[in-house]
Amino acid sequence: MNHGLLWLPLLAVFIVLVGLGWVEYRKLEHYRQWAQQFEASKYDIAAVVGQQGDRLTWGKPTPKGIVHLQTCNLSKVQSIWVERGNQRLETEATPAKGRVYLVLQTYTGEHYPIPFTELPLALAWRDRLQPQLTNTTEGEST
């Protein structure tokens, strides 16, 4: 009987881990369905992002689907930068603590922070979107 009582907490931990795994699986399945409509997309715990042409859409993954969806047209974005702890970052070597955000600033002064869990991923998305801003602003000035 003593052995059974010792294994009971391990069984409880296993059941909790299976439950958490199921929740993550559901989030990923909702993301896969959502991401099919985009040219490029990313998933992490903080947010999902999808790009189709000059339209960028992001939201929060949940087991019931993607919620708090926001969309921004890149032709309305003036600048893009990555920040962590209210400090702009240019490279991965910049020391700073806090959550990482890809920030979009529109010509009207609105800021759209998109959360990321990994700095290299946020920098890669900044580098991916930056040339599209240059093309858009050059096209408007001519």
Residues 10-62 have pLDDT tens digits of 889 999 999 999 999 999 999 999 999 999 999 988 899 999 998 999 999 99
CA distance 142 to 140: 6
pLDDT at 130 over 60: yes
Give the contacts of 104 (CB within 8 A, at least 6 positions apart): 56, 72, 77, 79, 80, 111, 112, 114
pLDDT at 97: 67
pLDDT digits (tens, 9 = 90+) for 55-94: 999 999 999 999 999 999 999 999 999 998 877 877 776 6
What are the residue ranges spanned by the domains of the chain? Answer: 2-141
Within its chain, how far is the Cα of 84 from the centroid? Answer: 14
Q: Is CATH 2.30.29 what the domain over 2-141 is classified as, yes or no?
A: yes
Taking a C-beta distance cutoff of 8 angstroms, is the pair 70, 58 a contact? yes
